[in-house]
Structures are given as structure tokens and as C-alpha cells.
Amino acid sequence: MTKKINHFSEMTAGDDVRAPYRHYQSWFAGQDVNRLSRKAQEAEVFFRRTGITFNVYGQSDAEERLIPFDLVPRILSGAEWTKLSRGIEQRVRAINAFLHDIYNRQEILRAGIVPVELIAKNAAFLPQMMDFTPPGGVYTHIVGTDIVRTGEDDFYVLEDNARTPSGVSYMLENRETMLQMFPELFSKIKVQRVSDYPKNLRRSLEGSAPAGCTGRPCVVVLTPGIHNSAYYEHSFLADQMGVELVEGHDLRVIDGHIAMRTTRGYKVIDVIYRRVDDDFLDPLTFNPASMLGVPGIMDVYRAGNITITNAPGTGVADDKAIYSYVPEIIEFYTGEKAILKNVQTHRCSEPDTLKYVLDNLADLVVKEVHGSGGYGMLVGPAANKKELADFADKLRGNPANYIAQPTLSLSTVPILTDAGLAPRHVDLRPFALVSPNSINIVPGGLTRVALTEGSLVVNSSQGGGTKDTWVLES
């Protein structure tokens, strides 16, 4: 007999409605379900007209798709958000300190806190960043922290996204859609704004400009092009910030600076918000076949004449084996205990741990250390015998490529179905903006929801959807 798991409901507690949802539930109870269904269809039409789509790589039918949007918001109290934002800020500060350290003095390695081989053998570690500090000392200017919840006061960080975190455009468009469809809701319930994000992003990027910049810094968004899965977000953010969206062929090195081609000739730029992976950023330094980057940009960067956000080499902090050391990293650099907990993580590179993982594969979630998007992972409780056996072979063949974690009892938030409200599992990706003098965390973030009943995989590439995330003002 399958053991029934009681998942924490963020909306209800027994027969009662939890405090953050009471005003919403009162409003919802007076709504016509048919009207809400029509509103859901309107939202889909709005997203399609606006072009809010993404591509799924590696599929023969990789046409642009909509990310499903659910009308029932995910609601957090002001007190819950205060705890989360404090924990995120602490984590972001520590990750920046860690990156500065491993590319300079490497004190945390000499202290034996983090094993040297996790850095030395890490594909995301860039020797080209050694003995160099980015402008303002900031490595991760935009950070997306994936958080899950298992109880009233139990929040866990699932992973850190320190390279090029995506999804903020969906957060903004979800809120805009809700404001248009249900303006009366926002007059009844005081929800903290997220619409300031593009303005704060530009201000943060400008604040990270090189020391030699004079006047207002020139900021651009560098995209790989229209075929990238997140191209909509690249163009959306450039438009919302009021800056140029450029591709590699629009930029060149002139007199030791990066300049952008315009109708009036080339214009020097100061900050590049790049959405191009490290390996393709500079064909003279990294992949010589790259057509997406700018030849010579790393020389300009190391000379201190351009800011690249996020800095090359930040992917070390995304590594899921490094993730398992983040509580120790926080304590090493801040002297504080981690406010937000890590999920217990088994490093398969360790022989005894590998044996434990293989013996308990059916109960664990196994992930690639550099994986993302829900690819390359195994959810043990949902796998059949053949899938478990095939994955066990992968583990034995390359154990250092994997970590394993217990299957968490993720919290649920209702979605709107034809039969009414039904619980589904969710996670949360808040976004932090880091500049030399401040850390700004947007109140809420992107809630991703597993639309299939019982599923724990929320990624859009795996069939997940999104919700508007509300943080109450009080």
C-alpha cells in the first residue's frame, strides 16, 4: 500500500483558510467559476499576442510554446517575506565573497572548507578570471534563488542560479495580466509592487559600471539571437529598461573599449547584461568557433573598461556539489549561521555516498551537478524499474557528475481546474539585484507550478506553469 503523504497547503490549514489567503478566499467565494474560466482563456490570448513564449531544445516539435499561467496567486505574508529576503541577501553576499575568493586568494580552499578538486575539476571554473576583480567587486549582479517550502516555517533553498537566471519577464507579465483582469482584487488586497524591477535593474547595472566611466553609463543587453529559448525575455528586459538589445556582431573593440554600432557610427558602452554563455563570449579566449560573442572582449574586461553581468566564471556557484557547501560558505565569510536551510545533499563522487544513493535510488531525486531546466535528473519515486536501472548505470559511469537529495514533501497552492480548485506543488524563484552599494530583492518572484497532479517537476520545459506571486504589505 502506498503511504499517503500530507503536503503542507499554503492556502488552508485543516478546515480553515491561512491568514495570507483570507481576503482572497473571501473574494474567490463570490466569483462565478465560468467567468474565471473565461478569464483564463483571455490570459492565454494575451500571452500569445504579446509573444510570451519559449522554445524547448532537443525536440523535433520545438516550436515556440506558451508557459501555462494559472489565475490563482501564490500569497506570502509580509513576515514570511521578511525572513526569505533576509536569507536570500545573506546567501547572495556569501556567494559573491566566495567567487572573489576562489579567483583570488583561495582562502576557503586553504582552510579545507571546500575541497580543492571541486574547483580545479569544475568545468565552470575559468582560469582566465584568476587574479582579477570585476568593477565594484560584484560577480553575481542578478541572482535567482530557487526556494521550496515543506511547512509553516520550513523553507529550503533548492539551488542557486548565479550565471544567467531567467524567468523575471514572466514574473512581470503575470502581475500585469492579473492587474488587467482583476483590478478589484488589488484594491481590496494590498500587494507589494514588482513593476519597479526594470527600473531597479537598470539602476543596479549602471551602479556597477567601470570606475573610468564618465556621465550616465551606457547599458546594453547581449542576446544570442532570436533562436534562443529565452529571447522573449532578452527583448522584453531591454525594452523595459530603455536600452539597446544587441548581438555579438553589433559590438567590436575600439581603442580598448567595447563599442556598439549605431546609425551615427560606433558608441562606447560601459555595461553588458549578457545572456550568452561563458564559452561563447569571446572566440579569442574561449570557443574559437563562437559567432555569438565579441572577439577581444575579455582583454577589455580585464583592463577594467567594461562590466559584464554576470561575471564570467560565476557558474562555479551554480554547481550542485558546491551548493552542498553553501551553509559552510556562509559561515566562513559572514560568521553567521545560514538563515535559509539547504536540502540534504549526497555527493555521488564519494564512494560510500555513491553506494548509499544506489541502494536508495527509488527514494531519491538525482541531479546533474551542472544540470538545469529539469533535464538530466531522476525523480526516484516516479521512476519505473528500467529507468532506475538505466540511471544507476549512469551513476556508476560518472558518479562525480551527480548529486542526490531526498524527495521533499513540497508545499501546494491551488490551481483553477474545470472541477474547481485543486492543489499542485510549487517552488519560488525570487530575484536579487546586486550592485557595489546595495542588494535589492523584488518582493515575490516567479512561482512555478507542476500542473500535473502529484508531479514535483515545475520546470516549464517539463510541462510546468507559472503563477503571480503576491507579498502582502502587512
Span 422-455, pLDDT tens digits: 999 999 999 999 999 999 999 999 999 998 888 8
Residues 311 and 453 grouped into a single domain: yes
Which residue, of 387, 407, 427, is where some domain finishes? Answer: 407
More confident residue, 239 or 2: 239
Q: Which of 373, 389, 407 is the last residue of a domain?
A: 407
Mean pLDDT of 113-122: 93
CATH number, domain of 401, equals 3.30.1490.270
Instruction: Determine the average pLDDT of the residues in 361-383.
Output: 82
Residue with grid cell 507542476, as numbered in its chain: 450
5 belongs to a structural domain: no
The answer as to whether 3 is a domain residue is no
> Are 185 and 265 contained in the same domain?
yes
Is the same domain home to 380 and 267? no
Distance CA 418, CA 114 (A): 50
What is the distance between the terminal CA atoms of the chain, rounded to a whole angstrom?
44
Give the phi and the psi of residue 450 in degrees, each rounded to 5.
-80, 105
Question: Is the model's pLDDT at 230 over the cut of 90?
Answer: no
Q: Which residues contact 257 (CB under 8 A, 6 or more apart)?
A: 268, 269, 300, 305, 306
pLDDT in tens, 5-21: 678 999 999 889 999 99
- Please check the confidence at residue 2 and state whether its pLDDT lies above 60: no
CA distance 129 to 242: 30
Provide the 8-state DSSP code for 4.
P
Assess whether pLDDT exceeds 60 at residue 56: no
User: Is residue 146 located within the same domain as residue 239?
Assistant: yes
Last residue of a domain, one of 365, 380, 407: 407
Has residue 1 been placed in a domain? no
What is the secondary structure of 55-96 as a DSSP string? --TT-TT---EEPPEEEEEEEE-HHHHHHHHHHHHHHHHHHH
pTM for the model stands at: 0.92
How many whole angstroms separate alpha carbon 76 and alpha carbon 354?
A: 38
H, E, C per residue of 335-404: CCCCCCEECCCEECCCHHHHHHHHHCHHHEEEEECCCCCCCCCEEHHHCCHHHHHHHHHHHHHCHHHEEE
* Domain ranges, residue 380: 344-407
Total domains, the chain: 2
pLDDT digits (tens, 9 = 90+) for 30-53: 999 889 999 998 888 888 777 665
**289 against 1, higher pLDDT:** 289
Q: Are residues 326 and 367 in the same domain?
A: no
> Cβ distance 312 to 126 under 8 Å?
yes
- My answer on whether 210 and 330 are in the same domain is yes
Within a domain: 64? yes
Q: Are 138 and 93 in contact (CB under 8 A)?
A: no
4 inside domain: no
Is 285 within a domain?
Answer: yes
Helices (H), 145-191: 168-181, 183-188
